[in-house]
Structure 1
Amino acid sequence: MERLGLVGLPNAGKTSLFNALTGARAPVAPHPYTTTETSLGVASVPDERLGRLAEMSRSRKVVPAGVQVVDIAGLAAGASQGEGLGNRFLAGIREVDALCLVLRAFEDPEVPGESDPVAALEALELELVLADLASVEGQLERRRKQARADKSLQREVAALEEVHEALAAGTPLYRAALDPEGADARRGLFLLTAKPVLAVVNVTEGDPEGAARAEKAVGEALGGAGEVLAVAARLEAEAAELEEAERAELLEGLGLGAGALARVSAAAYRLLGRRVFFTTGEKETRAWSFRAGASAPECAGVIHSDLQRGFIRAEVIPAEELLAIGSWQRAKAEGRVRLEGRDYQVADGDVLEIRFNV
């Protein structure tokens, strides 16, 4: 399961967002470094197709897809030189697959810290860029020396030089216009700012106009490099502790719709390049997570390794088509369920039954 890392300055609301997404009850306090260790949790990804399929099949159990969320220790100015919890902070980021930048835009006299989300974004980006720059400078010098004897390394040196130029200018790689031909060389550098990003602006509850302004300002500062969502994290965390029906009623009453869980989880799923397929029956309806572009045997392996090893065929129908027909048996009788082989690339929303033999 891919990991989404929550990254932010002290008192930005990372842990509140973590609790809202995962249903955890990690401690939150109005002082820096409440979070000093990495916390892990799983956020369910809401999908209305799942519930409808379960109702159609009269399933006894419903299992949504999930994304792993990592609450990383807060960053301080100078983290790239080891200030605050710098080394721990940077190590936590290296272990995740995508970044969720949590930016404070709420005012609270009891919680110290600035409430300018654009300034917070700049501070986070600066520390990430400085950490990457230090890493690239060391690697670049070594590769230049090696390339004098091994001309095959010249392309890698060129990619490093391009990355170094962007970082030296203060530009994180997720907003740098880099040559696509250097993508393979850059992938091996494991740089922090090469990870895809999502920005969550933690806003004051009950101020939709202020939230819209903050969201727009951060979006302009990111320059289209990542999706931006405004969330009242503290309210969402409190709502997460309620029973599902009470939570839905509270969020609906406040005009928040499905709340942060649905919006941030879905955005993280897109960011990580994940998709879902479904299996459905009386026993269980489940959403299974898979990498976009995966083949039918690979998706069978998500269910169980034996299914991939003994894969013969996949019976496939899109969820919406199946729901319109009303049952799997009727869909098969009407010839609407397709048989697909090993080369079939599973699409988001496919309902599968795997034929296998081991």
Structure 2
Amino acid sequence: MKLGIVGLPNVGKSTLFNAITQAGAESANYPFCTIEPNVGVVAVPDKRLDVLEKMYNSRKKVHASIEFYDIAGLVKGASQGEGLGNKFLSHIREVAAIVHVVRAFDDENIVHVDGSVDPVRDIETINLELIFSDIEVLDRRIEKTVKLARSGDKKAKAEFELQERIKVHLEAGKPVRTLEVTEDEAEIIKGYFLLTSKPVLYVANISEEDLMNGSMENEYVKKIKEYATQENSEVVVISAKIEEELSSLDEEEKRELLADYGLEETGLDKLIHSSYKLLGLMSFLTAGEQEVRAWTINIGTKAPAAAGKIHSDIERGFIRAEIISYDKLVECGSEAAAKEKGYYRLEGKDYVMQDGDVVNFRFNV
């Protein structure tokens, strides 16, 4: 599961990426500094693993992870190939969801590609380019569908009507993700690979000063939140510069700096958790002396498919899943105590996994 970090040039994308991955993506005060997408894999923070590691005296701890792509800054006309438009659009097609970084601070020393800071205009600049690209893709689809529809194909006729609805929606300047559709229609739309059908998480990048002053809700942030509400998207407020600084510190120094800012967790932890949620993901856990580990699955995954995340043989030979919730296990204090109290249960092939299930899969191959 990959997320693409996008935004206009000089909004803090690469600074944020540096903080996320400590990968040192070049950051400079001019457009198109990032040309090829930098890729970084980041651990999903999960305090449950720390607790289980101590409980089982495990030798190894493995977090779930998410991939972030730092994608080149976009300008007006990208859908017609302006700037690095074609590269931007091809890279964004490869990601499952979009992290849209929006500048929410004033700084005369940092050039804005449009000459002034206006978060709603900046969001719409990118959204419109994606919409233009989607209309072009959809027009090609409609051309093929209309021929079949005219021949009397009922399925093609229904799909043509759906395509026309999508086009009207796009031409009104609205992304596909805000169009009300049935489950069946949503499945059809997935096959169109439209950019604006991808889920979006907005990141409001505020200044260090605003963070220090506790102004997490400046006027720019309020405008971003108002916009995001219209499409049921979430907003995470961070200071990319501070996050980059935090990422270079050890745990004790990090805690001290967070306390200075009156924060309990980093903006990055919020961002990573929100990204995980945006992708419709959750974690089940395995624990033992060898290792404790979080495994990434889609919400709604059944036990055999979850077993397959560990190894295909376990899915193939699945018999039962021995499961306890993390909270119950911690309440008991040990696996032995939990078993003594009868809190472990055996689940079959139709069991839908829950976040925080601690699992031992029984299988035979």
Q: For this structure pair, what is the TM-score category when the shorter chain's length is used for normalisation? A: over 0.9
Matches of 2:183 and 2:304 in 1, distance apart? 30
Identity value in percent: 45
1:102–1:200 CA contact under 8 A, matched in 2: yes
Gaps of 5+ in 1: none
1:217 aligns with 2:219: no
1:204–1:211 CA contact under 8 A, matched in 2: no
Per-residue deviation at 1:212? 4.3
Q: How do 1:24-63 and structure 2 match up within 5 A?
A: 24-63=23-62
Deviates more, 1:188-197 or 1:101-110: 101-110
Query: TM-score normalized by structure 2?
Result: 0.94
Q: Deviations over 1:129-182 (max 9, x none)?
A: 111111112211221122111232111101100100001111111223345552
Deviates more, 1:244-253 or 1:34-43: 244-253
Q: Structure 1's 224 and 130: CA in aligned 2 closer, same or farther, altered over 3 A?
A: closer
Deviates more, 1:142-151 or 1:154-163: 142-151
CA RMSD of aligned residues (A): 1.5
Q: Name 2:346's counterpart in structure 1.
A: 339
Q: Name 1:202's counterpart in structure 2.
A: 205
Of 123, 126, 130 in structure 1, the residue corresponding to residue 125 of structure 2 is 123
Q: Structure 1's 356 and 180: CA in aligned 2 closer, same or farther, altered over 3 A?
A: closer
Q: Deviations over 1:12-55 (max 9, x none)?
A: 11111112222221111111111000111112111222222222
Q: How do 1:4-15 and structure 2 match up within 5 A?
A: 4-15=3-14
SS in 2 for 1:184: helix
Deviates more, 1:325-334 or 1:254-263: 254-263
Q: Deviations over 1:268-315 (max 9, x none)?
A: 011100010111122211111111111111111111222112211111
Query: TM-score normalized by structure 1?
Result: 0.96
SS in 1 for 2:3: strand
Q: How many pairs are equivalent? A: 357
SS in 1 for 2:352: coil
Q: How do 1:233-272 and structure 2 match up within 5 A?
A: 233-272=240-279
Matches of 1:58 and 1:83 in 2, distance apart? 56
1:77 aligns with 2:80: no
Per-residue deviation at 1:213? 3.4
Q: Name 1:167's counterpart in structure 2.
A: 170
AA of the residue aligned to 1:324: E
Per-residue deviation at 1:98? 0.5
Q: Name 1:139's counterpart in structure 2.
A: 141
Q: How do 1:169-188 and structure 2 match up within 5 A?
A: 169-178=172-181, 181-188=184-191
SS in 2 for 1:262: helix
Matches of 2:161 and 2:261 in 1, distance apart? 53
Matches of 2:292 and 2:167 in 1, distance apart? 49
SS in 1 for 2:255: helix
Q: Structure 1's 25 and 296: CA in aligned 2 closer, same or farther, altered over 3 A?
A: same
Matches of 2:218 and 2:50 in 1, distance apart? 31
Matches of 2:332 and 2:182 in 1, distance apart? 48
SS in 2 for 1:70: strand
Matches of 2:334 and 2:219 in 1, distance apart? 47
Q: Structure 1's 329 and 6: CA in aligned 2 closer, same or farther, altered over 3 A?
A: same
Matches of 2:345 and 2:224 in 1, distance apart? 45
